[in-house]
Structure 1
Amino acid sequence: MTDLTRRTVLATGATGAAVAVVGLPDLAGAAPVAPAARPAAPRYTRETKLYRRKRFVQQRKQRFRVTGPGTAIKMTLVSVTDIPLVTQGSNRSFELTFSAPRRGPEQGTYTFQRRRFKATSLFLVPTDDTRRRYRATINNR
């Protein structure tokens, strides 16, 4: 059996590292390590009609179930506002502000759902250190 050292793994590159992790016993002599299950790829909303201001204005002050990798939290849509320097009142370009009752997820893409509201994916950015307020920008100019 060949000796597996950190130096030899690094020298072989990414392919060699994958083989070392999956196909060879670990350094303690235990059984080979099985590859981790790949999480299912998230589904993203592709329908542009779902990203219109009037659709979200109707949902203001409503709670959404927000899900994503390792995340499930409820958030409330607080406001729908204009993007600075974009046409005021645009139905295609606007910002959404959400609040969470507890510390929420990191920045990323999440699915928003509620009854009678087709699931829609939004890219959220926390706007405060407590990660209880978030902004999503829709800009379809």
Structure 2
Amino acid sequence: MTEPYPPRPRATRLYRIPEAGRIAGVCAGIADYFGLSTTGVRLVTVLAGVFFTLPVVFLYTCAAVFVPPRPRALYANPAEEAFWRGVRTEPAGTVRDLDRRFERLDRRLQALEAGVTSPAFKVARDIRNLG
């Protein structure tokens, strides 16, 4: 049985970014995933390559082959991209922000419920229905 829609790419996955990269976009993808500077990741990679040439070349080649490129439609808008970047780089802060949002929504819902179930609302509704 086939699914009606193709699966959506996961925003929390590591992707290469070939259009923003120098060689296959591995450093750009790592920088994006961890919320770091692309230049800093490239500098660390080059320095590590100076001291550990074979392992760095091997790992970089493996990443270039096995890490998929980032899909064009990964995020619907810039706000969604910022949200998922926050989830990857600071998950506790994201949970805290979501918790605050749900608390505010809960308070608004309680106020709405209190207003709708109050006797004054029922009287106003009855008066409105008379006319």
Scaled by the length of structure 1, what TM-score is found? 0.18
More helix by share: 2
Quick one: higher RCO (CA 8 Å, sep 6+), 1 or 2?
Answer: 2
TM-score, with length taken from structure 2 = 0.19
